[in-house]
Amino acid sequence: MEYKISDVANLLGCEIKGDKNLLVKGLAPFFQAEEEELTFASDEKFLHKLNETKAKVVIVPNIELPEIGKTYLLANQDPRKLMPLLLNFFKRKTKKMEKPIEDSAKIGENVEIAPHTYVGHDVEIGDNTKIYPNVTICEGVKIGKDCIIYPNVTIREFCEIGDRVILQPGVVIGGDGYGFVKVNGNNIKIEQIGKVIIEDDVEIGANTTVDRGAIGNTVIKRYAKLDNLIQIAHNVVLGKNFLAASQVGIAGSTEVGDNVTFGGQVGVAGHIKIASGTTVAAKGGITGTIKEENQVLGGYPLLPLKDDMKVKASLKKLPELLKRIKTLEKELEKLNK
């Protein structure tokens, strides 16, 4: 599908600086956008790197900008505040749900679909996949071969599941990411128009949730294994062979390298990168980018695990140390009199 940039400009109240007749195929993140996609630069981090996006059309603040062959949509307010309108414009429309298994669904050979399951329009399911009761598979979903989808799983529209994927009971794939923006003092929802892509041989534990991308996709790469009760936020990328124990939470737009392992209850901040081979012990807190590969870390703030264990061991001695300090202070006071 193609969109006129003039329609986008009229919707957002933007002035077009450049070719007014251009068409775009959709909206994409700044660094991932292709030539025929629209993107936006809302702050200096992106405005100084306009030559690094392939997109020919960029929504920008109404300021002086370099002439580098791009067409600009000049916004008279913070481009982020236009996001609700922009994402709603590009959100794909879905068809009315009419039958338990819609006629346009393409179902492979030897597929088992239990009762009380919904299979939406244009869904594709590969050979030998088994789907248990009370599963919801929304419009446009693609599921590979030899998958097992256990009861009460929900796979939202347009998500993609590879081969030999196992989704344990209660998993939610493609729920809306936690995206809101302040407009006139109120929290306004930003539509989440990306999807989730799960590659081959992934297993996801019971009641784990993987949110769809706001713009672009959330990606879980091959052989990742996630435990129960984990939250993966929008636009996260998990590398190959990722392992995570229960109650891990990863905030939006974080990129995790290959062969990374997280213990239970590890918390990860958003918009950071974690080097391949990183291991973080249970309850570790990751607040910034980890550049060095193959480290074993723990604690909050994060330290090499051996150092963190020494810190924790020293905490047991604090009460006795405080007593000794108070005793020494009293003795010093006597000497000073």
Active site residues: 234
The answer to whether the CB of 178 falls within 8 A of the CB of 252 is: yes
295: amino acid identity, one letter: Q
Within a 10 A sphere around the Cβ of 235, how many other Cβ atoms? Answer: 27
The answer to whether the CB of 252 falls within 8 A of the CB of 272 is: no
Contacts of 103 (CB under 8 A, 6+ apart): none
The answer to whether the CB of 187 falls within 8 A of the CB of 179 is: no
Token pair for 298: 């723990």
Best CA proximity match to 175, nearest among 134, 133, 207, 143:
207
Token pair for 157: 């529209």
142: amino acid identity, one letter: K
Distance CA 201, CA 221 (A): 9
Strands 203-204 and 225-226, bridge-based pairing: parallel
Token pair for 200: 């081959």
The answer to whether the CB of 246 falls within 8 A of the CB of 230 is: yes
